[in-house]
Chain A
Amino acid sequence: MTAPAIAYNFAYLDEQTKRMIRRAILKGIAVPGYQVPFASREMPMPYGWGTGGVQVTAACLVPEDRLKVIDQGADDTTNAVSIRRFFQRTAGVAVTEATADATVIQTRHRIPETPLTEGQILVYQVPIPEPLRFLEPRETETRKMHELEEYGLMHVKLYEDIARHGQIATAYAYPVRVEGRYVMDPSPIPKFDNPKLTANPAIQLFGAGREQRIYALPPYAEVVSLDFEDHPFQATKAAHDCDLCGAKVSYLDEVITDDAGGRMFVCSDTDFCAGRRARGLIGRLGGDQKSSKTFANSFQGIWPGTEGAP
């Protein structure tokens, strides 16, 4: 671990800014699913790279925390590495890849497979917090629609999907209704993850830096994915098992292994997958020489001469 840089305050942001963010978080928790405007700061990473999540994490962190950062479910994707390093450098907190050991988890696009527990905080990076944005581009209008609980437009959109495609054609960022009140964008998680949102013992915080919004789900909040009685919500995933650990219930990434249609499916949650393999659970291609970390570089003929090639 690197020593915290002296020039900056703990977790980079100054205390007044953290206080302002914490107030927004508390308001968000008090009004679940409501988008609280906050004075988002310019961070040393670009908008769109998780500045909202980073600010929320910075406001939540205490020196005793153990931080986990994932992107696409993986701890070792470049941006997850970069954000984890940022907090190692500026806050000096312990980091972990184990979901169960983490006190704060910052995520982009996934909810970990391992169920979260009380006392944990899950921080989502959010690009467009407004679930109605692609139906109505104006913020002034969508705020009014939330105020008036005017969500008919969203139901019409879902209905039109069914009329046109026979099903709701939204695969990720699938809209939810929180505690029977606010319609909320769960961030671009696959809809496979939506059922994990509801009655979750952890605190779930959503930060959108560029759009200057924070919203939250308190523990055990009721979160319902929008649907119709005759077209109930369905969580979907690739109809395969993980080729590395054999898991049947985890969300899978599809990896192209050659240019002749070859592919394999692997858990997107690297900690979940590694944990299963450590317990001896092996999938179709999960010989023990492969881990999800090294297998990416292990395709002979396509990516020759890199480390980890078998």
Chain B
Amino acid sequence: MYVAVKGGERAIDNAHAWLAEERRGDTAIPELTVAQIRSQMALAVNRVMAEGSLFDPDLAALAIKQARGDLIEAVFLIRAYRTTLPRLGASNPVDTGAMQPDRRISATFKDLPGGQVLGPTFDYTHRLLDFALMAGGATRTSPQRQEEAPPSPLAGEGRGGGVPQPVPHVTEILNRDGLIEALAASDATPPDLTREPMELPADRALRLQALARGDEGFVLSMAYSTQRGYGRTHAFVGELRIGRVAVEVDIPELGFAVEIGEIEVTECETVNQFKGSKTEPPQFTRGYGLVLGQSERKAISMSLVDRALRWKELGEDNIGAPAQDEEFVLMHCDNIQATGFLEHIKLPHYVDFQAELELVRRLRAEATALREAAE
């Protein structure tokens, strides 16, 4: 009975105890360790880090364990933890051009400086269940790893060493010929939606921040809708790169920047067809996505949505597509906000419902009286 929601102190304790028991599951089966989740569920860990806006694979793995594999719940745990951390400062912009990518592909050029590096990708795998994994069969190791230098201590398992080659951005190659829109560098402090209330209209930096921590499913669907014609931007993946970048912070006392660590990121730059508008000449335009960890679906989606949201600055028409609607996208892309508000309707609402009951009863009584008077 719903009223039993009252008197809930003991019920809450019991529910939490039961939850803990269910989380552990069958005790005859060994308990998952956080290290196992971190290293074997790395893409789930990446998603939790990206949407939780916190680069910490151990904590993300812990959150996944605690959340019983519910990734949105895990993101929530990370976000709630993240708020308690002081913000000490802002890093310098990370230089993705200096990245030694584990994966780097361009869909616009067959070959290019730095080469095409497939890296650890599901692309071109046949999606056949591998029953050997179920039987605990041996894992294949990559031939490169066998032959080459020991893995870099900065990179995870399975990555070769080798001599660093410069890997310039594809968009820079296009930029040299003036074929793609020029973007002025800026030293402006980017806005931070975790410290300031979201204000609309938002600038591009704020939009990108919101998208970077937005729900992968939501951003994916928005991007997909542009491909199907709701605000089409004709995107080519100019470049997708995944790898580790150094994070540097200026230390005022020292007068120079110090590297404080490395993070893995996925960067996607789209090159979008553009026939010119009332204000801009024909040239290629850009969409941009940058996501913590290896999260290429999210990075590509993000760059498509970013490009669609730029209709105004490029002088394009607003055709009323959802992905062009900044307020719609930004106000609804956060899954922690969305799931909280959605699920809160299971909290008691009987005071309001009672008010509605009385209203409906009164309206019905009046309607009935009117009908009877008419008859």
A38 touches B76 (CB 8 A): no
B3 touches A254 (CB 8 A): no
When distances are taken between beta carbons in the complex, the residues of chain A under 8 Å from B82 are 42
Q: B352's contact among A40, A140, A188, A212, by CB below 8 Å, is which?
A: A188
B interface footprint on A258-282 (CB within 8 Å = 1, 0 otherwise): 0000000000100000000000000
CA separation between A189 and B355, bound complex, in Å?
A: 9
Q: A74-B6, A190-B352 are in contact. Are A46 and B343 (CB under 8 A)?
A: yes
B4 touches A169 (CB 8 A): no
Give the Cβ gap from A301 to chain B, nearest Cβ, in Å. Answer: 11
Is A210 on the interface with B (CB-CB < 8 A)? yes
Q: Which residue of B lies closest to A299 (CB)?
A: B1
B197 touches A252 (CB 8 A): no
A294 touches B7 (CB 8 A): yes
Is A120 on the interface with B (CB-CB < 8 A)? no
B340 touches A172 (CB 8 A): no
Is A77 on the interface with B (CB-CB < 8 A)? yes
* In the complex, chain A residues 57-93 whose Cβ is within 8 Å of any chain B Cβ: 71-74, 76-79, 81-82
**Total A-B contacts with CB atoms under 8 angstroms apart:** 156
Q: Which residue of A lies closest to B84 (CB)?
A: A8
* In the complex, chain A residues 157-210 whose Cβ is within 8 Å of any chain B Cβ: 165-167, 169, 171-173, 188-192, 210
A172 touches B9 (CB 8 A): no
B80 touches A48 (CB 8 A): no
> Which among B57-65, B103-111, B252-260, B331-339 touches the partner chain?
B331-339
When distances are taken between beta carbons in the complex, the residues of chain A under 8 Å from B198 are 212
When distances are taken between beta carbons in the complex, the residues of chain A under 8 Å from B84 are 8, 12, 14
Q: How large is the interface on B (under 10, 10 to 19, 20 to 34, 35 or more residues)?
A: 35 or more
A139 touches B327 (CB 8 A): yes
CA separation between A44 and B347, bound complex, in Å?
A: 17
A49 touches B347 (CB 8 A): yes
Task: Point out which of A14, A47, A296 has the most chain B C-beta atoms below 10 A from its C-beta.
Answer: A47
A47 touches B344 (CB 8 A): yes
A127 touches B341 (CB 8 A): yes
CA separation between A12 and B84, bound complex, in Å?
A: 8
A interface footprint on B133-165 (CB within 8 Å = 1, 0 otherwise): 000000000000000000000000000000000
> Which among B23-31, B240-248, B275-283, B356-364 touches the partner chain?
B356-364
* In the complex, chain A residues 20-65 whose Cβ is within 8 Å of any chain B Cβ: 37-44, 46-49, 51
Is A290 on the interface with B (CB-CB < 8 A)? no
When distances are taken between beta carbons in the complex, the residues of chain B under 8 Å from A191 are 355
A140 touches B3 (CB 8 A): no
CA separation between A28 and B269, bound complex, in Å?
A: 43
Give the Cβ gap from B314 to chain A, nearest Cβ, in Å. Answer: 20
When distances are taken between beta carbons in the complex, the residues of chain B under 8 Å from A44 are 80
* In the complex, chain A residues 121-138 whose Cβ is within 8 Å of any chain B Cβ: 127, 138
* In the complex, chain B residues 316-373 whose Cβ is within 8 Å of any chain A Cβ: 327, 331, 336-337, 339-345, 347-352, 354-359, 362-363, 366
CA separation between A254 and B3, bound complex, in Å?
A: 10
B3 touches A43 (CB 8 A): no
Is A302 on the interface with B (CB-CB < 8 A)? yes
Is A103 on the interface with B (CB-CB < 8 A)? no
B358 touches A166 (CB 8 A): no
Q: A48-B344, A165-B363 are in contact. Are A172 and B352 (CB under 8 A)?
A: yes
Q: How large is the interface on A (under 10, 10 to 19, 20 to 34, 35 or more residues)?
A: 35 or more
Give the Cβ gap from B313 to chain A, nearest Cβ, in Å. Answer: 17
A296 touches B344 (CB 8 A): no
Q: A44-B80, A139-B200, A210-B341 are in contact. Are A109 and B352 (CB under 8 A)?
A: yes
A14 touches B86 (CB 8 A): yes
Q: Which residue of B lies closest to A128 (CB)?
A: B341
B344 touches A42 (CB 8 A): no
B1 touches A253 (CB 8 A): no
Give the Cβ gap from A150 to chain B, nearest Cβ, in Å. Answer: 19
* In the complex, chain A residues 287-310 whose Cβ is within 8 Å of any chain B Cβ: 292-294, 296-297, 299, 302-303, 306
B1 touches A292 (CB 8 A): no
CA separation between A20 and B294, bound complex, in Å?
A: 36
Task: Point out which of B7, B12, B337, B343 has the most chain A C-beta atoms below 10 A from its C-beta.
Answer: B7
Q: Which residue of B lies closest to A251 (CB)?
A: B351
Q: Which residue of B lies closest to A47 (CB)?
A: B340
B341 touches A48 (CB 8 A): yes
When distances are taken between beta carbons in the complex, the residues of chain B under 8 Å from A167 are 362-363
When distances are taken between beta carbons in the complex, the residues of chain A under 8 Å from B200 are 139-140
Q: A172-B356, A190-B352, A296-B3 are in contact. Are A76 and B8 (CB under 8 A)?
A: yes
When distances are taken between beta carbons in the complex, the residues of chain B under 8 Å from A127 are 341, 344
Is A238 on the interface with B (CB-CB < 8 A)? yes
Give the Cβ gap from B249 to chain A, nearest Cβ, in Å. Answer: 20
A166 touches B366 (CB 8 A): yes
Is B199 on the interface with A (CB-CB < 8 A)? yes
CA separation between A294 and B359, bound complex, in Å?
A: 29
Is B11 on the interface with A (CB-CB < 8 A)? yes
CA separation between A261 and B108, bound complex, in Å?
A: 70
Give the Cβ gap from B329 to chain A, nearest Cβ, in Å. Answer: 13
Is A117 on the interface with B (CB-CB < 8 A)? no
Interface residues of A (CB under 8 A from B): 8, 12, 14, 37-44, 46-49, 51, 71-74, 76-79, 81-82, 108-110, 127, 138-140, 165-167, 169, 171-173, 188-192, 210, 212-213, 236-238, 251-255, 268, 292-294, 296-297, 299, 302-303, 306
Please provide the 7 A-B residue pairs with the shortest distance between their CB atoms, ordered closest to farther: A48-B344, A47-B340, A171-B355, A46-B340, A78-B8, A37-B197, A190-B355
**CB pairs A–B below 8 angstroms (15 shown):** A14-B86, A42-B80, A43-B83, A47-B344, A48-B342, A48-B343, A48-B347, A127-B341, A138-B327, A167-B362, A188-B351, A188-B352, A237-B358, A238-B357, A296-B1
Assuming A127-B341, A190-B354, what are 13 further A-B pairs, CB within 8 angstroms? A37-B199, A39-B195, A42-B79, A42-B82, A47-B339, A47-B344, A48-B343, A71-B347, A72-B348, A78-B5, A79-B348, A109-B352, A251-B354
